[in-house]
Amino acid sequence: MFPLAIVLVSLTLSLLIQPWPRPALAAATIVTIDDEYGDSLTGALPVYEGAWKFGPDCSDCLLQPSPADAYRSGWHDTTTSTQYAQQTVTLTFNGTAISVYCIVPNYSASANTFVNISFSLDGNPATTYDSNSTDTVPAFRYNVTVYSVAGLASGEHTLVMAPLQDPSSSVVLFDWAEYT
């Protein structure tokens, strides 16, 4: 019986010194939203309103970034104009953070390169991004973070971005977004 008592004491001690199970922390899942192919998790596509063109197929667009440098080889292009209704792109996502990336042109004498974008998150004015570069080289800056917010309540959110015509027409080359 003596060996049985040692086994029981050893088993009891081993259970006492074992760390208690701890809940595992879930790693945040990063999901992308491509301008053309949409949400990599849900398949939801960006909703474009107004005069947007798929950049690589736009033969009359004055700005021609390299498809090889764009995320998934494409972008959507628009320029504000008083003759068109407001252009917007709406992204719907379920998460706690989002970042939006655009291709931002540097100065060109042959095309409008002023970038002025407004962002509205869940119907509330959020912020603006603008760039009026006088640099000419490189012609384009890729993967520029034009909007980023974290710490949102977990759940579905709607982000609307629109080029502003203030003080002059504005160009937007929307490339992609990511959210967690």
42-78 pLDDT, tens digit per residue, is 999 999 999 999 999 999 999 999 999 999 999 999 9
Q: Is the pLDDT of residue 16 over 60?
A: no
Q: Which domain holds residue 111?
A: 31-179
Q: Is residue 4 part of a domain?
A: no
Number of folded domains in the chain?
Answer: 1
Q: What is the pTM of this model?
A: 0.83
Structure tokens at 156: 């579905």
Q: Which residue has the tokens 């509205």?
A: 120
Here the CATH number for the domain that contains residue 52 is 2.60.120.260
Q: Is residue 153 part of a domain?
A: yes
Residues 137-160 have a mean pLDDT of 97
CA distance 75 to 102: 8
**Could you write out the DSSP letters of every residue in 17-84?**
HSPPP-PPPPPPPPEEEETTTEETTT-PPPEEESS-EEGGG-TT-S----GGGSGGG--EEEE--TTS
